[in-house]
């Protein structure tokens, strides 16, 4: 064994390395002759050919090598042992769909040959290679089916079947090919197209298979095939193509859903995502549905009633019959998939009616508010309509992280704006802030227009509980709402509530009020005194605002300004001194042309108070 392996591999490598345009035909004949040595010889030849191709990718002779190797592989395909030989020759290599695509391109394989090698790999004992082969084969079938010219597509399908039937090793995979094709070609026309070229025996077998195949799929591992193909195409897409007729009654719905057993939570989630996107306006495909049912050997009638939407009762009842143990929370968690999107308020209401038919438990808010989805657009489309829904349709009242709502905060009446408690849900606010920082600021900001108008204090109080990487949305809401709170005669109670939750947000609000309206510092002082937070604010607020607040506080004899200055100079030294000098310049030259562009424009009374404090600072 060892001598044969070493000698044969060396000789094959020598022939490929000595390949020229003149001897290409003779080398090809010699290598094909080695395929006749049996399984061991065939494996060694194919392995060595693959190794040489990988080792000489940049070689100028690589094109000739590829042509010779391609002829060897085509010769091997005609042998009854090709599936075993091909799988064994790849056992030491990392196989992927990308590898198979590149290999097929280098070999200039036809569509039939590419499907053939994919089917051959489905015989592998290695589960990864088996899955890779099935996925690669499915990709070719989908490409084949996507041909816009139906005649060309039909002809190619016939060519594939004839190729498989004529191959000694691949003829057994005709059924596998037909099963995959049935998943892709939802119109069921393929079987009728192929009838003329299939043998009488095959036609009979196909008829019987259509009658019971999907009920006995365990025999051919069809359940596993469906599971593997789920990534390549979705049963939801097939149901969409067949149209509302799938849910005309439980019997018809069972016939269709039986194709994707077992009904996993992911499969159900994708079906729900499809029906909410197409809940109305889907083209009537009654003829296609009837044709498809006939192709599967199912009972059907051309006198089916026409539906204008999906029949929720029928769909949910059928799902529960096939999957009585469905975890509907897991179904909702699986809504985060490509293609999920709520197109309208009516579609959202439709979706929630499906959930309410299926499950009596409260909607799992964590599934939509617990984290940012990969499909963020789909998540936002859901949240957009959820926040404005009436409580009978959707509510956030059962949120596990809910703002402790007070009917009155120190006498300041708060308004909820809507009854579904959306803006009391802290998880909702948290995920909206995260989404805003991931490129959806404009969309999220538009969602906040309503609460900013109808319950701004509640929104700001909720935002105070949220901390994200940049706090962009929190700052946006603060700059809009905080000035309104400061101007309100009863605003001190709300400021204290905010301070206890998020002091930094309050400090930022004070600074923004001062920057936009310098004389607002007088009102800030009053609020700080009423809420008894002045001392803490003076310790934490940035120096430009802090110095002015301290000056005004000293005029009311609330603090000793000179002592406050000395304490900060001792603590912050040059940093604080520099801020004091900036304050002096802005105040001393506030009316001069040089400083006319200063952001702080005070009234005369306030300016005089600051000027009086200048001597203390200078001293």
pLDDT tens figures, 21-63: 888 888 888 888 877 777 887 888 888 888 887 776 645 556 7
Q: What is the mean pLDDT of residues 539-557?
A: 92
C-alpha gyration radius of the chain: 37
Distance CA 508, CA 336 (A): 36
Same-domain status, 159 and 286: no
178 and 64 both lie in a single domain = yes
Is the same domain home to 116 and 244? no
Peptide bond into 262 cis (omega under 30): yes
Tell me, yes or no, whether 96 and 187 share the same domain.
yes
pLDDT at 418 over 80: no
Q: How far is the C-alpha of 580 from the C-alpha of 208, rounded, in Å?
A: 94
In this structure, are residues 413 and 457 in contact, taking their beta carbons and an 8 Å threshold?
no
Average pLDDT over residues 159-163: 78
Pair 53, 129 in one domain: yes
Separation of alpha carbons 162 and 158, rounded Å: 6
The answer on 192 and 294 residing in a single domain is: no
For CA atoms 587, 593, 596, 602, the dihedral sign is positive
Total domain count, the chain: 2
* Strand partners for 109: none
Distance (Å, whole) CA 372 – CA 586: 46
> Considering the domain boundaries, does residue 316 fall inside one?
yes
Instruction: State the pLDDT confidence band at 507, using cuts at 50, 70 and 90.
Output: very high
Q: Tell me, yes or no, whether 452 lies in a domain.
A: no
Domain membership flag for residue 518? no
Q: Are residues 63 and 185 in the same domain?
A: yes
Please indicate, yes or no, whether residues 31 and 173 belong to a single structural domain of this protein.
yes
d(CA 617, CA 619) in angstroms, rounded, equals 5
For all residues of the chain together, what is the average pLDDT? 81
Q: Do residue 137 and residue 248 come from a single domain?
A: no
Q: Is residue 182 part of a domain?
A: yes
Residue 89 lies in a domain: yes
375 part of a folded domain: no
Q: Is the pLDDT of residue 209 over 80?
A: no
Q: Name the 3-class secondary structure at 249.
A: coil
Q: What is the pLDDT of residues 228-277, one digit of tens each?
A: 544 445 678 888 888 888 888 898 888 888 877 788 999 999 999 999 99
Same-domain check for residues 35 and 134 = yes
Residue 361 in tokens: 């438990």
Domain that holds residue 115: 2-196
Q: Please write the tens of the pLDDT for every residue from 430-478.
A: 999 999 988 888 899 999 999 999 999 999 999 999 998 888 899 999 9
Q: What is the pLDDT of residue 83?
A: 87
112/166 same-domain check: yes
Average pLDDT over residues 162-173: 77
Q: Please state, in angstroms and as integers, the Cα–Cα distance from residue 417 to each residue in 381, 448, 490, 502, following that order.
A: 21, 12, 20, 23
Domain boundary among 333, 361, 389: 361
Strand partners, 235: none
- Considering the domain architecture, whether residues 45 and 177 belong to the same structural domain is answered as yes
The last residue of a domain, from among 168, 196, 224:
196
* 304, 332, 361 - which closes a domain: 361
Residue-level pLDDT at 208? 45
Residue 347 resides in a domain: yes
- Residues with Cβ within 8 Å of 463's Cβ and at least 6 positions away in sequence, in order, are 429, 433, 473, 474, 477, 478, 505
Neighbours of 55 (CB within 10 A): 13
- Cα separation, 137 vs 134, in Å, equals 5
In this structure, of 75-79, 511-515, 542-546, 601-605, the range with the lowest mean pLDDT score is 601-605
């Amino acid at each position: 064994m060892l001598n044969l392996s070493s000698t044969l591999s060396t000789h094959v490598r020598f022939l490929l390395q000595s390949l020229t345009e003149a001897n290409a035909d003779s080398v090809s004949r010699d290598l094909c002759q080695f395929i006749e040595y049996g399984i061991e010889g065939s494996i060694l030849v194919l392995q060595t050919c693959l190794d040489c191709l990988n080792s000489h990718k940049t070689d100028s002779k690589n094109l000739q090598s590829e042509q010779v190797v391609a002829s060897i592989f085509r010769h091997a395909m005609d042998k009854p042992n090709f599936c075993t030989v091909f799988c064994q020759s790849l056992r030491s290599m990392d196989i992927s769909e990308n590898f198979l695509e590149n290999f097929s391109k280098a070999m200039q394989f036809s569509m039939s040959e590419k499907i053939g090698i994919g089917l051959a790999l489905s015989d592998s004992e290695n589960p990864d290679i088996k899955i890779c082969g099935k996925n690669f084969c499915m990709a070719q079938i989908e490409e084949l089916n996507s041909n816009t010219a139906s005649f060309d597509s039909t002809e190619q399908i016939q060519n594939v079947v004839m190729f498989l039937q004529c191959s000694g090793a691949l003829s057994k995979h005709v059924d596998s090919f037909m099963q995959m094709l049935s998943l892709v070609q939802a119109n069921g026309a393929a079987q009728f197209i192929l009838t003329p070229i299939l043998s009488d025996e095959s036609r009979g077998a196909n008829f019987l298979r259509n009658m019971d195949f999907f009920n006995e799929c365990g025999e051919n591992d069809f359940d596993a095939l469906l599971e593997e193909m789920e990534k390549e195409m979705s049963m939801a897409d097939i149901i969409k193509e067949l149209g509302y007729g799938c849910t005309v009654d439980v019997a018809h719905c069972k016939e269709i859903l039986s194709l994707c057993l077992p009904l996993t939570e992911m499969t159900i989630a994708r079906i729900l995502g499809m029906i909410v996107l197409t809940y109305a306006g889907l083209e009537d495909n009654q003829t296609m549905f009837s044709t498809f049912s006939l192709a599967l050997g199912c009972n059907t009638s051309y006198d089916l009633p026409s539906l204008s939407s999906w029949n929720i009762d029928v769909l949910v009842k059928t799902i529960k019959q096939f999957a009585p143990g469905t975890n509907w929370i897991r179904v909702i968690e699986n809504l985060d998939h490509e293609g999920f999107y709520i197109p309208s308020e009516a579609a959202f209401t439709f979706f929630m009616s499906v959930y309410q038919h299926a499950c009596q438990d409260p909607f799992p808010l964590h599934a939509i508010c617990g984290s940012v989805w990969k499909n963020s657009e789909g998540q936002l489309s859901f949240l957009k309509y959820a926040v404005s829904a009436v409580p009978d349709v959707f509510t956030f009242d059962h949120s596990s992280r809910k703002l402790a709502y007070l009917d009155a905060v120190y006498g300041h009446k708060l308004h909820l704006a809507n009854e579904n408690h959306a803006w009391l849900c802290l998880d909702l606010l948290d995920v909206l802030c995260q989404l805003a920082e991931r490129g959806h600021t404009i969309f999220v900001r538009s969602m906040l227009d309503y609460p900013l108008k109808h319950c701004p204090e509640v929104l700001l109080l909720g935002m105070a509980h949220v901390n994200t990487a940049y706090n962009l949305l929190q700052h946006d809401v603060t700059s809009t709402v905080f000035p309104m709170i400061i101007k309100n005669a009863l605003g001190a109670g709300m400021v204290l509530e905010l301070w206890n939750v998020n002091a930094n947000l309050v400090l930022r609000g004070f600074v923004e009020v001062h920057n936009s309206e310098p004389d607002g510092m007088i009102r800030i002082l009053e609020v700080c005194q009423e809420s008894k937070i002045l001392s803490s604010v003076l310790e934490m607020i940035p120096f430009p605002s802090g110095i002015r607040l301290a000056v005004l506080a000293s005029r009311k004899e609330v603090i000793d300004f000179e002592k406050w200055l000395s304490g900060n100079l001792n603590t912050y030294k040059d940093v604080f001194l520099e801020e004091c000098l900036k304050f002096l310049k802005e105040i001393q030259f506030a009316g001069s042309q040089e400083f006319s562009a200063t952001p702080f424009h005070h009234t005369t009374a306030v300016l005089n108070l600051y000027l009086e404090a200048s001597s203390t600072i200078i001293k």
